[in-house]
Chains A and B, each alone.
Chain A
């Protein structure tokens, strides 16, 4: 079965650089969630989209932005990178927002900021 695809899987950037992370949801899934998992920490919700509109926002820095495109894939754009942005970034997708949805996670993008 098709899974959530994230690219790249690994990314190394310097401080103050920009990064773009991509997420391709499971086919027919219309909702995308982004989470950030710092070293030794639990995943923290960043932002979500439903039908290409932002549906919720968590602890996402102003330096980060995201969008969902017409094909439902999503991109997380990160600017002015800081050392503390080094983390594993998960994307998850689900179908609908009925309250009985299960999120399916991608393999994550490991971002290292030097």
Chain B
């Protein structure tokens, strides 16, 4: 069965440190890729998405992600984190072609940024 793996379940960083969160998926076909963020007590918000084209995508709040097809990866990066980035981050994949585009989520990474 298709799956999405996020290897880092908990990450603690100091402000201004660089961030990289890993995401790998298991599916040999075409995929759409997403990163969502969930701040404490809030709903999932889209950070960035990849459908096609330039494998390096930029999202909101200074986040970016790179799709490496050969590695089935879509890692999230931010050069300098802020305390306000403390949240849970989910990688999600939808499979193509498909009658619907339900998401398969990774297990999430809880990021804590220390001021």
> Contact residues of A with B, CB < 8 Å?
3-4, 31, 33, 35, 41-45, 48, 50, 55-56, 58, 90, 92, 94, 97, 99-108
Contact = CB atoms under 8 A, between A and B. Distances in A.
13 contacts: A33-B100, A35-B103, A35-B105, A41-B107, A42-B90, A43-B44, A50-B100, A58-B102, A97-B99, A100-B32, A101-B101, A102-B46, A106-B43
A90 B104 contact: no
Given A42-B107, A45-B104, A107-B42, A55 B99 contact: yes
Interface residues of B, number: 25
Contacts of B70: none
Contacts of A97: 99-101
B67 interface: no
B49 interface: yes
